[in-house]
Amino acid sequence: MGHRRNFTLAVLLFALILPAVAEITPPEKFFGFRLGADRKMARWDKIVEYFQLMERESGGRLKVINMGPTSMGNPFLMAIVTSQANIGRLDRIKRVNAMLSDSRTRMGA
């Protein structure tokens, strides 16, 4: 149940953020039912397909990264929602975050 709730929350977040820039296919249209509806569950392969569709429709504000397989062999996805400028410099942002989180690289250490 928690995974479905987290997925529903993530999709709702994207639905609120991304439409300001681009036309995103609503989950109800893609899946054919309201997420969280009784006796309805989205298949994992369709969830992956939907995230890939949202990435294409996002106007460059969503980046979907396959982090590798889950314990069940499904793609484990990470979705990043940010500005187009930040999408273009994700590697730099990751390096800076890694540096900031490492106490050995902080000033005065």
Domain of residue 13 covers 2-83
Residue 6 belongs to some domain of the structure: yes
Does residue 64 lie in a domain region? Answer: yes
Say if 26 falls within a structural domain. yes
Total domain count, the chain = 1
38, 68, 70 from 65: Cα distances, Å: 30, 9, 13
Prediction pTM value: 0.70
Reported as a single tens digit per residue, the pLDDT across 10-33 is 665 555 555 555 589 999 999 999
Question: Helix 44-57 to helix 2-17 angle, to the nearest 10 degrees?
Answer: 10
For 61-100, write each residue's pLDDT tens digit. 999 999 999 999 999 999 999 999 999 999 999 999 899 9
pLDDT of residue 54: 95
